[in-house]
Chains A and B, each alone.
Chain A
Amino acid sequence: MTQIRVPDGLWDTAKIPEAVLSQWLYLDGATVTEGSVVAVVMAEKTEFEIQAPADGTLRITVPADGVVAPGGVIGKID
């Protein structure tokens, strides 16, 4: 199992305390490949892509529109 995290330092948390997981590109349970963009996080109007850290089955823990922070876990790869 590998956790999918929002990387640190993507945006200035002093200015933008909360960001949002704007969309998942795969359904829960989908097979994903390491390096594929699986989700997009929006800090205000700036987008950040989140890649799958490994090959495997996607398990979503933070659904679309959920609030995220740098370092936070949004799902895992089984």
Chain B
Amino acid sequence: MGPRNLTIAKALTEGIAQEMRADSRVFVMGEDIGEYGGIFDSTKGLLEEFGPKRVRDTPISETAFIGAAVGAAMSGMRPIAELMFVDFFGVCMDAIYNLAAKNTYFSGGNFNVPMVLMTATGSGYGDAGQHSQSLYATFAHLPGLKVVVPSNAHDAKGFMIAAIRDDNPVLYMFHKGLQGLGWMWNVATAIADVPEEPYALPFGEVGIRREGGDVTIVALGLMVHRALEAAEALEAEGIDAEVIDLRTLVPLDRKGVLHSVGKTGRLLVVDEDYTSYGVTAEIIASVVERDLTILKAPPRRIAYPDIPIPFSRPMEQYALPDADRIAQAARELVESGRQVGALA
């Protein structure tokens, strides 16, 4: 038997289907998730197999159906709701952060909210500022919500199954450019060998996507792949980069990051989400507040500038972190680290 390669879209849908077969409490609702199969192919084939009672197209009423997912979860079901683009969170944030994220705590643990909210992130295909955001930190900032960001198909399936089985609300953020959609660019390295049988992957463990001793590049989602491209370019110059995939933001594997930085002494964090108050700051803080002595150079970050995402291609591409900029920052980091070392 050869490998069984799937796209993220296929893998996460397979995870949903297997849990739906195994557990009658699991159902899906959202906009265009029935006959259309999800705008980003996240529910393809589910309506055909499970019918309209368990695969429910909703009106454009996110406040209602995400609130309903909270209520159904508290009433013993295992709902999966889809928010088509994460950018659309504005209308329904209350259901997400004042209900889903807080009801367990408010009820002293007497209620739990075992729901999955899946949503599409990502920019770089000309969809402008209300359809391109990543917003990872916005959600990871809110206590009570687990946040998962798969970067490849193997994680996508294992995380989806784990999210459905989790007794807490899980925000499952998939990247449009990693889905394997036929109608936009995609990233071949997101395709992975996916076991056919159901499996759940634990949250809170970073993935070492590439081992190296000179610099640690921490990334998530699409940026993992951009970091890998950068690492390849750096290898040709004799710089050995380690690429760490955060995989889940809540829970966050701070130890895993620290362990890698302990080895390399240099930290570069890359994020497609906005720079300020973001994932990059959290990762850097997690390292420097634990142990400043392991650093050979001040940590660096590359993230989206603090601007709404522009439409026009030259501006859009300028603002989006890419492999060249990651490689350049890593190069400078290694260089400055050497200087600091020399001074010491």
What residues on B are CB-neighbors of A22 within 8 Å? 182-183
How many interface residues does A have (CB within 8 Å)?
A: 16
What residues on A are CB-neighbors of B180 within 8 Å? 23, 40
Are A23 and B3 within 8 A (Cβ)?
no
- In the assembly, what is the distance between CA of A41 and CA of B183, in Å? 10
> Given A23-B188, A25-B191, does the pair A36, B183 have CB atoms closer than 8 Å?
no
Within 8 A of A (CB), among B170-189: 180, 182-183, 186, 188
Are A25 and B182 within 8 A (Cβ)?
no
Interface flag for B1 (CB, 8 Å): yes
Distance of B152 from chain A, by nearest CB (Å): 13
Known A-B contacts: A23-B182, A36-B5, A40-B182. Give 14 more (CB < 8 A): A23-B180, A23-B186, A25-B6, A25-B191, A26-B3, A26-B5, A30-B3, A33-B1, A33-B4, A37-B6, A37-B10, A40-B180, A47-B182, A55-B2
- List of 9 A-B pairs having minimum Cβ-Cβ separation, nearest first: A31-B2, A42-B182, A22-B182, A25-B5, A47-B182, A32-B2, A45-B183, A33-B2, A26-B5
Interface flag for B104 (CB, 8 Å): no
Interface flag for B7 (CB, 8 Å): yes
Interface size class on chain B is 10 to 19
What residues on A are CB-neighbors of B6 within 8 Å? 25, 37
What residues on A are CB-neighbors of B182 within 8 Å? 22-23, 40-42, 45, 47
What residues on A are CB-neighbors of B4 within 8 Å? 33, 36
Distance of A52 from chain B, by nearest CB (Å): 9
- In the assembly, what is the distance between CA of A60 and CA of B188, in Å? 15
What residues on A are CB-neighbors of B186 within 8 Å? 23
Within 8 A of B (CB), among A48-66: 55
> Given A23-B180, A25-B7, A42-B183, does the pair A36, B2 have CB atoms closer than 8 Å?
yes
- In the assembly, what is the distance between CA of A30 and CA of B5, in Å? 10
Across the interface, name the chain A residue whose C-beta is closest to B183.
Answer: A45
CB pairs A–B below 8 angstroms (16 shown): A23-B7, A23-B182, A23-B186, A23-B191, A25-B5, A25-B6, A25-B7, A26-B2, A26-B5, A30-B2, A31-B1, A31-B3, A37-B6, A42-B183, A45-B183, A55-B2
Across the interface, name the chain B residue whose C-beta is closest to A56.
Answer: B2
Distance of A12 from chain B, by nearest CB (Å): 18
What residues on B are CB-neighbors of A55 within 8 Å? 2
- In the assembly, what is the distance between CA of A42 and CA of B186, in Å? 14
- In the assembly, what is the distance between CA of A47 and CA of B180, in Å? 11
